[in-house]
Amino acid sequence: MQMLCQICKKKKATITLTKIVEGQKTEIHLCKDCAAAFSDKFSLFPLPQFDINDLLADLLNAIDLYHKEEGIVSDKEIECSNCHLTYNDFRKSGKLGCSVCYHDFRDQLTPLLRRLHGNSEHVGKIPQQSKGKLNKIRKIKQLKKELQELILKEEYEKAANTRDEILKLEGVSKKKNAK
């Protein structure tokens, strides 16, 4: 179904203006002519006199050429080491071939998951019996990250306190596991 311009209601909408204020998203769909008039009236953005599709295609081609010259593997050429599914094939089908794909495509999947779900890690409900253990693991992970940052900032006293807190939490975990 073709979306019509919300101003003239005659031509196909090819431009979407998105405004986000305090988490509320508002979109307006415009044809090229109405977008140009809208842009001139409100001086929001200049509309170039060239086709955006050509610009994007040229940009992608330039990036591919640069990657070839530098010996960098493009996303299209990345392949799962287990099932040999390429990232390009995943993009076409939307389905990963095996569990190793998650590892091999992690650099490409992480931003995708963040866009889709707002996070790249599961943070949903936790079974009650696992809640305490998982919270402790998360706390230790967070403290280890803080410890690294404190060491880099050369704040050794705070780092020592953080280290002690980590050891205390890990000690409690080890004692419970020993029972």
In order along its 179 residues, the chain shows pLDDT tens digits of: 678 888 888 899 888 877 776 777 778 888 888 877 766 555 445 445 555 556 555 655 565 565 565 565 555 578 899 999 888 788 778 788 898 988 888 887 787 777 766 666 666 666 677 667 878 888 999 999 999 999 999 999 999 999 999 999 888 545 554 55
Together in a domain, 107 and 132: no
Together in a domain, 6 and 57: no
Strands 15-21, 24-30: pairing is: antiparallel
Task: Among 9, 32, 47, give the residue marking a domain's end.
Answer: 47
Supply the range of the domain harboring residue 91.
Answer: 52-117
Distance between CA 27 and CA 6 in Å, rounded?
10
Helix, strand, or coil here: 26?
strand
Together in a domain, 113 and 56: yes
With contact defined as beta carbons under 8 Å apart, do 31 and 15 qualify?
A: yes
In a domain, 37, yes or no: yes
In a domain, 123, yes or no: no
What pLDDT sits at residue 64?
A: 57
SS (H, E, C) 2-24: CCECCCCCCCECCEEEEEEECCE
What pLDDT sits at residue 120?
A: 65
Together in a domain, 171 and 138: yes
Together in a domain, 60 and 111: yes
What pLDDT sits at residue 151?
A: 92
Together in a domain, 166 and 146: yes
With contact defined as beta carbons under 8 Å apart, do 126 and 133 qualify?
A: no
Distance between CA 156 and CA 122 in Å, rounded?
33
Together in a domain, 78 and 42: no
What pLDDT sits at residue 110?
A: 80
Together in a domain, 41 and 82: no
pTM over 0.75: no
What pLDDT sits at residue 52?
A: 55
Together in a domain, 73 and 89: yes
Task: Among 13, 29, 47, give the residue marking a domain's end.
Answer: 47
Task: Among 117, 139, 170, give the residue marking a domain's end.
Answer: 117
Together in a domain, 30 and 68: no
In a domain, 58, yes or no: yes
In a domain, 122, yes or no: no
Task: Catalogue the long-range contacts made by 34-40 (C-beta closer than 8 Å, 24 or more residues apart).
Answer: 34/5, 34/7, 34/8, 37/7, 38/7
Domain count, the chain: 3
In a domain, 162, yes or no: yes
Together in a domain, 31 and 72: no
